[in-house]
Structure 1
């Protein structure tokens, strides 16, 4: 059964895709502020903006997904997405045929989110780790590394669940 109130998502992709997009947006918002504060030390400003982005990206994603309400025009789409997320968590498709169709329709977005989250996490956090190490911010580099491992682990978990759900939805062809 789906959640009683569908969650809002600006990005309907599987985990960790929405988090990586939130980190990117938060980083782009924090970078000018940190550049202005640092007066020319670009690597340090980028590392500080990255730290803020990792934290505020999570806060932005969590707040929007937990407390946001879908617009009336998106209520059906949000409900279908909630059914898909519930099926992904359970690891088995719903019994209802309409819900199975909704899950099947959303599986490509789940896969794209896992792939984008993994690739985006490496592209965003990898250079931040290198900049932090070169700038002498070892603790920040460790933090970025932990977040990168978590993003990659969530991408692998989502990918495996998506494949398992796709296999359960595919009818067996026998002879």
Structure 2
């Protein structure tokens, strides 16, 4: 949702419109995680020739057949031709519509019900086309809440084994104030997040 919010801000400034798209596999056995990248690369090349970038967000879902839901931000004059879509997505069917209710489509995409057994390392969602500020906002939104409180705005962290996070700017270490026990998460008595 945060990626869509950031893309919406960028799109408004650039005069782009939202397009909802679903790419469905005709046969789940034909699934390959590289298909979504191939599709997006074809669309990105077409837009690049016209001088545009491609902000996008996608999620993989299984309700019956495997399918991707996408939110694309396209120039107002650019039309997704059905013949081209069929060429770019030869593994099944496509559905597309102008997205008048971005928040609703984003909420629909954000629901998580992909319980299918997928090959290892299959990504369930992806996004792209954000500027540096947008990428930083999305990355920050993905951090644990306790770390968002401690980390100064505009600074980045890296995760290390053992539950530590390190500030990429200062090298300061952060440790979760919570500890996993057989009875669930409990708050540590000794510290609130800052490492030594």
Shared fold per TM-score greater than 0.5: no
Quick check: which one's helix share is greater?
1
Higher relative contact order (CA 8 A, sep 6+): 1
Instruction: Calculate the TM-score normalised by the size of structure 1.
Output: 0.26
Instruction: Calculate the TM-score normalised by the size of structure 2.
Output: 0.24
Quick check: which one's strand share is greater?
2
